[in-house]
Structure 1
Amino acid sequence: MPSEDQVILITGCSTGLGRSLAEESLARGLRVIATARRLSAIEDLRDKGARVFTLDVTDKPDALKSFADEAINAFGQVDILVNNAGWLLGGAIEETTPEEIQSQFNTNFFSVINVTNAFMPHFRSRRTGTIVNISSQGSYIAVSGAGIYCASKAALDCLTETWSKELAPFNIRAVSVILGAFRTSVASSGTKASTNTIEGYDLAHNSHKIFRERSGHELGDPTKAAQKIIELVTLKTERSLPVRFALGEDAVHLSRKHLEKRIAELDEWKSFGANTNIDGIKYEQADW
């Protein structure tokens, strides 16, 4: 399908990567549905040719189903869904309250399930579609001071990988974009600190403090990130999409470093972790 015929829907378009994705998609001739919690924040995208909608991704499933029907009617189809809306909860894990943890997962994880499921009947009926979930290198490197955020992104990665398997028979693709540090609003307005402070969590506190201080000085250019993502999902190739796509020089380096460390650890302890079968039963390697 020519890229100019495709319809892309992006959540969280008021600032940062979401806005860059919307603008890059428009520049490439895609038909764009841009969403945000406040319509006033994306009215200028309407002037550039996008259809704009108010969307709170944490709404109830029934409300999201109604939104999906309305969004699909805008152009008669949706081909690419980008789950970009999210925020970062800072603080040591012990410092975060159950309510803060639930709020973090509601936006970064549960909303992705609910929003995507609202569009799933449409994708399945057309036997085509691409789901792009915006994750973070934190899902690999587990940053002290952002443990709940990292956990929500790790869960998102696992969800995406499972979708890539479950939805393949319907010709629906899923990719998790493992973002490095880009100059967006995440480190400033997109971050909330836990309400509690416990003395002694110096590493967690310093990590969060440094993260906030580096806002506006990150390595990555969100416009270039948007270009890469749109190129990836509109690429005409027989190759499958990567299930987990590291984006940004820091993400590529740190993700590989993390995986190498995990493999080395597995090899170091493999003999200790084996030899647990019931006597007489041999393990037969399975490909999941």
Structure 2
Amino acid sequence: MTFQKIDHQFTYPSLSYTAEPNFQPAIKVSVLFRKREGVSHETFFGHWQTVHADLAVATHAFQNHILRYAQHHQTPEMKERARSLGENVLDYDGCAQLWVRSWDDWMEFYNSEEYAAALSDDCHYFMELPMTYMVGYENLVVGDASKVIGGKDGLSVKKVWLVTGCSSGFGQQFIPAIIARGDQVVATARNTSSLENLWPEDSVRTLQLDVTSPQEVLNEKAHQAISIFGHIDVVVNNAGYVQSGVWEEISHEQLLNQFNTNVFGPLNVTRAFLPHMRARNQGSIVFMSSISGWLGVAAGGPYSASKFALEGAVESLQKEVSSFGIETLLVVLGQFRTNILSTERRKLARQPHQTGPYDEIIHALNSRQADTNGKQPGDPGAAVQVILDAVRREGKFEAEEKLPLRLVLGSDAVGIVRRECEDTLRELGRWECVARSTDIPGMEEAIQEYR
């Protein structure tokens, strides 16, 4: 766009004529109303905040088209205050304002049965018709200054979260942390009885959800979750458990159950919400991974295998959905003080009194897990706050344009990831000549690295 520049001293340092744009263009439709002659302002306002507020319900059915809905009324006192400033006053009594991404979105809503029902004959009792429309483009935010007024698109920064596995561990920590930020959450668990009536209903709703359910069931659960608050901004794939055992002794069924919960579950839940997020061109998906996805230990193979698989799947997913405005985040957790290693939560491949050639290895793992339980160095509450900061771009993440692929949490996790990377590079260097010896001669320039 070419325009004539003036010598303006910008208040916010990141703003300038050459600043990279960071806004979401929107069409703003303002619908102005005047009360009927002879109707008192009190009567008009009484109808305005009840009958006409039905429009808010109508727009709720069109969350994929309507970015934001607001309504306000102009009291006689407010009009006089504006006139006392010596300014002209637009003479109206009520105004409904709707923000849409495109004119097609507006027409989809304007021609809907919901909109017609909201503007039923009841409105004739208190407002003059026809209404007055004011329509125009509105660049909600420009430049990095968007962070000053809250959010990339300038709209409400309140988010709606869905968290799996809320009956224990990190899931329990997420709920109060989310509502403390002013957000809303759909808290899910296989059994939601322990979650009922603990938080305000306008902030927290519970939904029974088993992540190992068939895809068609999860799709229906996603539809139910979306209908609760109108949309879902963030999905946190938190449900999981630890299956221990050596490979010779673990059964196929035990291994499949581990993967159904820790791998296929979060991927299927994600698949259920992706169409909704693509349609809105926004969304964040968090996967609770583990340091076990970087380091395999004896008798810990089933759990490690599930986390290694999840890490690879999410790394691919990120490359597939980023162009649709959808973010992914792998949270690589160290040892955090939850109940995941408690006797009730741990699953062993063998029976308590079973013996065999791997007794020493299994005993060492059991002893280590028992000794660690309740003494883990990580604070789950602090980890949840960091995850919320990352998704909401607050705290240390305020200046970040996008989420990292992985977020390693816990000093022990940092040490293990660094050591594994260094060991891998050292081993690669030692055997690099052997690796390169398998190339077809003369094909060096044809080799393409995977990205």
What residue in structure 2 maps to residue 12 of structure 1? 165
**Separation of aligned partners in 1, 2:317 and 2:415:** 26
**Separation of aligned partners in 2, 1:227 and 1:238:** 16
Counterpart among 183, 206, 209 of residue 30 in structure 1: 183
Single out whichever of 240-249 and 170-179 deviates more from structure 2: 240-249
Counterpart among 384, 402, 407 of residue 226 in structure 1: 384
What residue in structure 2 maps to residue 102 of structure 1? 256
What residue in structure 1 maps to residue 403 of structure 2? 241
Identity %: 38
Q: Would the aligned equivalents of 1:46 and 1:52 in 2 still touch at CA under 8 Å?
A: no
**Separation of aligned partners in 2, 1:208 and 1:264:** 32
Q: Would the aligned equivalents of 2:246 and 2:358 in 1 still touch at CA under 8 Å?
A: no
Counterpart among 192, 197, 201 of residue 39 in structure 1: 192
CA shift, 1:3, in A, is 7.3
CA shift, 1:287, in A, is 5.1
CA shift, 1:110, in A, is 0.4
**Dislocated runs of 4+, deviation >6 Å:** none
What residue in structure 1 maps to residue 64 of structure 2? none
What residue in structure 1 maps to residue 449 of structure 2? 286
| 3-state DSSP of counterpart to 1:41 | helix
| 3-state DSSP of counterpart to 1:141 | coil
Higher-RCO chain (CA-CA 8 Å, sequence separation at least 6): 1
**Separation of aligned partners in 2, 1:230 and 1:173:** 14
Counterpart among 210, 214, 225 of residue 56 in structure 1: 210
Larger Rg: 2
Aligned length: 288
**Residue identity matched to 2:347:** K
Root-mean-square deviation over aligned CA pairs: 1.7
1:1-288 alignment, distance < 5 Å: 1=151, 4-47=157-200, 49-188=203-342, 189-195=344-350, 197=354, 198-235=356-393, 236-283=398-445, 284-286=447-449, 288=451
Deviations 1:150-195 (A, max 9, x none): 1100111111111111111101111111101111111013311113
Deviations 1:113-134 (A, max 9, x none): 1111000100111111111000
CA shift, 1:248, in A, is 0.9
TM-score by length of 1: 0.95
Deviations 1:227-261 (A, max 9, x none): 11111111143432111211111111111111111
- 5+ residue gaps, structure 2: 1-150
What residue in structure 1 maps to residue 85 of structure 2? none
**Residue identity matched to 2:215:** P
**Structure with more of its chain in helix, by fraction:** 1
| 3-state DSSP of counterpart to 2:257 | helix
| 3-state DSSP of counterpart to 1:186 | coil
- 5+ residue gaps, structure 1: none
**Separation of aligned partners in 1, 2:362 and 2:426:** 26
TM-score by length of 2: 0.61
**Separation of aligned partners in 2, 1:3 and 1:17:** 27
